[in-house]
Amino acid sequence: MPPASLDAIIIGAGFAGMYQLLTLRDRLGLHVHLLEAASGVGGTWFWNRYPGARCDSESHSYCYGFSKELLEEWEWSERYPEQPEILRYLNHVADRFDLRRNISFNTRVTACTYDEAANLWHVTTATGETHSARYLITAVGCLSSANIPNIPGLEDFQGQWYHTGEWPHDGVDFTGKRVGQIGTGSTGIQAVPVIAETAAHLTVFQRTANYSVPAHNAPLTREFKNWVKTSHAEIRAVMKSTPNGHPFTIADRKVADVSPEEREALYEAAWAKGGLQFRATFQDLLVNRQANDTAADFLKRKIRGTVKDPKTAEILSDIDHPYAAKRPPIDSHYFETFNRPNVELVDLRAAPIERITQTGIKTTDAEYNLDIIVFATGFDAMTGPLFRLNLTGRDGLKLTDAWRAGPETWLGLGVPGFPNLFTITGPGSPSVLCNMPVCIEQHVDWITDCIAHMRAHGQTTIEAQPEAALKWSDAVDAAANATLLPEAGHSWYLGANVPGKPRRFMPYAGGMAHYRNICNDITAKNYEGFTLA
């Protein structure tokens, strides 16, 4: 139960909320309380327990960097950490820093209202309680609002169905079952090989074909673990310097700088190394379509070389967008799985889903009998989790109205009309285009410094200026348009996966290192673009 008088309320106990709690409580000495809908810490890693769930960032970079001791005492076991291991890590952090005493679990926030007269946020929960505080900080993640497509007939289905982002905690037994999976994004590509191992039959319903590069996941060697333990400063320096916050740099060379033979050899080497690093083979892959075509061609050939049935290979490699214009998946034997006798691919481009029936899924040309349907259909990204909070700002302005035509923020951190609200990894931040813990720590440190500054100067309100937000929206558009990212017209970066959602490229694509400099500059200019009073 939080105390009656609070300086700040944080919503969400994932990577972002836990670190924000720690900085405000232990560095600034504020009265802070965190509200969390789940029964434990972990955020994304609490909910996403689907088969094969693991992080696509390499483990030694997918962790907090704020504590040298924490970095040195924690040891990851695999190149890409699996969901249970990340959840163990986050629980360890919660215990180590004694965070739980300021967290209310099983507490879903249903409304947040700014009271101008009192200069307080009033936060109501599903249990009917209201808590008030000067600052409200959302740490609700970018991908926490499940997108379950509105396919007619789901309510008639007699089997079980699950969304990957709301997976049952005691797991799902696929043994002997006929399973249908809708969706082949990063999540679906992780789930398919694992479900196929136990299901009697797996039907994969693909609407948009996708690239994928092997993760080459493996246990970490003692030698690598020792190197990590002694090289944190070096590793963190690289992560801070790169656009995506990963522990590898992007090559200086352009595709046209090398001969076709050298290019092929470089792609082969990147393929053998595996992971998101494939994107870093050339510096112009995401800005030059001709350059990108060479990577796309290489990856499509790999699919055709792996998948034995030519028709299946053709459907899987018929990819309509540039490589990495959608978030590029990495996998563990995804394409190989289509060589199993119990796995079948359905091309929804040729025959879309018509409806779900009592016994399965009916497309325009066939009916598939299923015991279980898995929705790997993604999320109402970035704005969805914020809209669920029912935020009302100054003069009764609802966030849903303020963002009717798309999100408007200053740096992804503040919203005009919503004083003393900070949105960690909000729309307009690099967030999902970056290794998340890196941008989360930057945001939290910036917010903490900002609140410290306000207190030192006797200021009690901060609000993003509308002109600053408009200028930032232009910067977000310009950064995206300087890349090939908007060419994937169906991507969730654009909000295109949710019917009726305005098409606006939401994350800031100008790179994390550049964004960090912009934020530092705004601080140095006495919080330019914000009104402090």
Applying CB under 6 A, the span of 132-140, 187-195, 296-304, 415-423 interacting with ligand N01 comes to: 187-195
Rounded distance, CA 188 to CA 182, Å?
A: 8
User: Coil, helix or strand for 344?
Assistant: strand
Q: Which of 187, 203, 244, 420 binds ligand N01 (CB under 6 A)?
A: 187
Q: Does 332 bind ligand N01 (CB under 6 A)?
A: no
In the complex, least distance from residue 183 CB atom to ligand N01, rounded to whole angstroms: 3
Question: Binding mask 208-247 vs ligand N01 (x if CB under 6 A, - otherwise)?
Answer: x---------------------------------------
Helical spans, DSSP H, in 279-319 = 289-306, 310-317
Q: Does 149 bind ligand N01 (CB under 6 A)?
A: yes
Residues 406-445 that bind ligand N01 (CB under 6 A): 432
Rounded distance, CA 50 to CA 194, Å?
A: 10
Residues 365-394 that bind ligand N01 (CB under 6 A): 376-379
User: Coil, helix or strand for 126?
Assistant: coil
Applying CB under 6 A, the span of 183-191, 263-271, 312-320, 519-527 interacting with ligand N01 comes to: 183-191
CB 28 within 8 A of CB 451: yes
Q: Does 490 bind ligand N01 (CB under 6 A)?
A: yes
Question: Binding mask 344-363 vs ligand N01 (x if CB under 6 A, - otherwise)?
Answer: ----x----x----------
Nearer to ligand N01, 440 or 464 (CB): 440
Nearer to ligand N01, 167 or 527 (CB): 167
Q: Does 153 bind ligand N01 (CB under 6 A)?
A: no
Rounded distance, CA 2 to CA 300, Å?
A: 55
CB 320 within 8 A of CB 310: no
In the complex, least distance from residue 330 CB atom to ligand N01, rounded to whole angstroms: 8
User: Coil, helix or strand for 474?
Assistant: helix
Nearer to ligand N01, 143 or 485 (CB): 143
24-26-30 Cα angle (round to 5)? 45
In the complex, least distance from residue 270 CB atom to ligand N01, rounded to whole angstroms: 18
Q: Which residues are CB-neighbours of 220 under 8 A, at least 6 positions away?
A: 59, 76, 77, 78, 79
User: Coil, helix or strand for 262?
Assistant: helix
CB 16 within 8 A of CB 43: yes
Applying CB under 6 A, the span of 176-184, 223-231, 234-242, 302-310 interacting with ligand N01 comes to: 176-184
Q: Which of 83, 186, 292, 423 binds ligand N01 (CB under 6 A)?
A: 186
CB 142 within 8 A of CB 381: yes
In the complex, least distance from residue 163 CB atom to ligand N01, rounded to whole angstroms: 9
Q: How far is CA 199 from CA 212, 368, 372, in A?
A: 23, 15, 10
Question: Binding mask 51-90 vs ligand N01 (x if CB under 6 A, - otherwise)?
Answer: ----xx----------------------------------
Count of chain residues binding ligand N01 (CB under 6 A): 25
Q: What is the SS3 assignment for 371-419?
A: CEEEECCCECCCHHHHHCCCEECHHHCEHHHHCCCCCCCECCCECCCCC
Q: Which of 88, 108, 207, 453 binds ligand N01 (CB under 6 A)?
A: 207
In the complex, least distance from residue 377 CB atom to ligand N01, rounded to whole angstroms: 4
Nearer to ligand N01, 267 or 379 (CB): 379
Q: Which residues are CB-neighbours of 303 under 8 A, at least 6 positions away?
A: 313, 316, 317, 335
In the complex, least distance from residue 102 CB atom to ligand N01, rounded to whole angstroms: 26
Nearer to ligand N01, 194 or 348 (CB): 348
Q: Which residues are CB-neighbours of 73 under 8 A, at least 6 positions away?
A: none
Residue with tokens 């900002």: 450
Applying CB under 6 A, the span of 177-185, 360-368, 511-519, 521-529 interacting with ligand N01 comes to: 177-185
Q: Does 255 bind ligand N01 (CB under 6 A)?
A: no
Contact residues: ligand N01, CB under 6 A: 55-56, 143, 149, 182-188, 190, 207-208, 327, 348, 353, 376-379, 432, 490, 492, 497
